Structure 1
């Protein structure tokens, strides 16, 4: 399995959730408990933005997704 940056794995998950549930980015940010500006950085793979692990933790916790589930579906990270 291809190793991808963690931000890429999380971005793939977020984009799929938004598309699958017909959410706007604003709606998904509210559901996931992170700011819309942080969500935009995740969606756009902005690696220079310095997304912190707390934001990713919050997003996964509030969407009831474990790291194991994330990696099983979207790939391992490097």
Structure 2
């Protein structure tokens, strides 16, 4: 392998991350092929960002936990105005 392949790895990984691809495979490909890995990387589609929806029971648990923790800090009515 050539040292130029090692220089290509961060650039290929940055583009692979931006396109939503697996970083390990593209790192190996950049190590083997160097800057030639940009050619297939530019041909692949960008994977859409998947927005993860937090389940409702988990949201309720977190909000009640935070609310109870805030209530423990209140000792006087003046504390409510903070």
Normalised TM-score (structure 2): 0.30
Bigger share in helix: 2
Larger radius of gyration: 2
Greater length-normalized contact order (CA 8 Å, ≥ 6 residues apart): 1
Normalised TM-score (structure 1): 0.31
